[in-house]
Structure 1
Amino acid sequence: MNQDVIDWLYGLSAPMVALSKNNGASYTSPFFYPDRDFMDMSESWRIDSRQTLLNCVFDMVDDGHAPLLSQYYSIYSRFSESDWRDYCQAQDDYQKILLEFVEQTFCVCGYGGIRSWDYARMGYVLRNGTTNKYITEEEALWIFSRIAARSQYFYESWHNYFAGWSIGFQFWESLNNKEDLEVLRCELTRASQTNTMKILITDKDSPCNRLPWYIEIDELEKPESLTEYDWS
């Protein structure tokens, strides 16, 4: 596989790298932290084995936090302004706050919504799983290639993808405020992760400054070691 393509695939976890760049995170290494021999993911991710890692990744890529808003981004992309207003009026107060958030953020993340929040985090998990030898680099790259197909379908640029991650981070931070709708509204309207976005956009090593978004990625054959998993 072309090195630029490999760098592009690992670049899907770039927002997580920008968060941890000062701690030695790499955009392009198979290992998220090249200087570390092991990453303990048992407490934060409940991952302590090959099985728990793969279960997490295969579940979260398509069924992480993004589905909580995906239908709203889809509806907003299809509805006329008047249809959207009518739809919003028919929802309860909690849903109206989420719909307002979707309307405010659609212009920067588009139809993909916050899917990249899940994609980038699972890229982080995969690369740490390679460090821990839970999976091989071949297995990680195949899974990355499937995440890539989703990413290029839902997003139009690196900036689009990064914005989806940032908005997803903001949404995730607000999830504990469901009971207090006014606090939730405030949490969803404040700026979040602006410094991380600045790093992603200005860092010369960031994939958006090195590689085009629409890069040709050959379809990889699924490793035999993963054929028992009905996921692609």
Structure 2
Amino acid sequence: MNQDSIDWLYGLSAPMVALNKDNGASYTSAYFIPEQDFVDLNKSWGINSRETLLNCVFDMVDDGHATLLSRYYSIYCRSSEADWRNYCQEQDDYQKVLMKFVEQTFCVCGIGGIRSWDYARMAYILRNGTTNKYITEDEALWILTKIASRSQYFYKSWHNYFAAWSVGFQFWESINNKEDFEALLCELTRASQTRTMKILISDEDSPCNRLPWYIDIEELEKPESLREYDWS
């Protein structure tokens, strides 16, 4: 695999890099923060071994926070305005808030919804897992190629991918407020992560300023060490 392809794969975690630039995070190293020898993933993620890391990644890539909204993004994309309004009216108050959020953010997320929120975080986990020697770089790259194929299918550009991540971040920060629906809607719709987005767009090392979105990603053979996992 050539270096541009490898850089592209590590670029999937670029939003997490922008969040951690001050701590030495890298867009292109196999290790998220090259100067670190170990990253504590247990406190925030419950990851303290190879098994817990791989289980987390394989679960979250397709069944993470994005699944809470994916159906609504899909329905919104396929519905006429009248059908969408009728569908919304049939939902409870909590679902109506979520659907309003989908309606307001579809223009930046598209059909992919907030999947990139999960993709970027799992790419982050993989790179830190490489640092901790829970997995090898080859294993991480193979998993990243699968996340890449999903990303290129659902998103049309780095900016699209980054914007959907930002929307996902806002959703994650706000979703615990399920009691006051008006407050929840305000939290969901306020601007978030503008500093991170500015870094991603303006940083010359950011993948959006160095690499095209639709790059050919070489299909790697699944490592023998991952054969026990029925995931691709």
Structure 2 counterpart of 1:89: 89
- How many pairs were matched up? 232
TM-score under structure 1 normalisation?
0.99
Alignment of 1:190-201 (within 5 A): 190-201=190-201
Structure 2 counterpart of 1:204: 204
Structure 2 counterpart of 1:219: 219
Separation in 2 of the partners of 1:21 and 1:57?
Answer: 23
Separation in 1 of the partners of 2:89 and 2:183?
Answer: 21
Alignment of 1:27-176 (within 5 A): 27-176=27-176
Separation in 2 of the partners of 1:189 and 1:143?
Answer: 33
Unaligned runs of 5+ in 2: none
**Matched AA of 2:84:** W
Query: Secondary structure of 1:133's match?
Result: coil
Separation in 1 of the partners of 2:141 and 2:8?
Answer: 11
**Matched AA of 1:200:** L
Separation in 2 of the partners of 1:172 and 1:25?
Answer: 22
- Aligned structure 1 segments of 4 or more residues deviating by more than 6 angstroms: none
Deviations, residues 63-107 of structure 1 (Å, cap 9, x unaligned):
010000000000011101111111111111111111110010000
The farther-off stretch of 180-189 and 50-59 is 180-189
TM-score under structure 2 normalisation?
0.99
C-alpha contact (below 8 Å) 2:201/2:208 kept by paired residues: yes
Separation in 2 of the partners of 1:165 and 1:51?
Answer: 26
C-alpha contact (below 8 Å) 2:5/2:218 kept by paired residues: no
Query: Secondary structure of 2:44's match?
Result: coil
How many percent of aligned residue pairs carry the same amino acid? 80
Query: Secondary structure of 2:84's match?
Result: helix
Deviations, residues 122-141 of structure 1 (Å, cap 9, x unaligned):
01100000000000000000
Q: CA RMSD in A?
A: 0.5
Query: Secondary structure of 1:177's match?
Result: coil
The CA deviation at 1:219 is 1.1
The CA deviation at 1:180 is 1.4
Query: Secondary structure of 1:179's match?
Result: coil
The farther-off stretch of 111-120 and 173-182 is 173-182
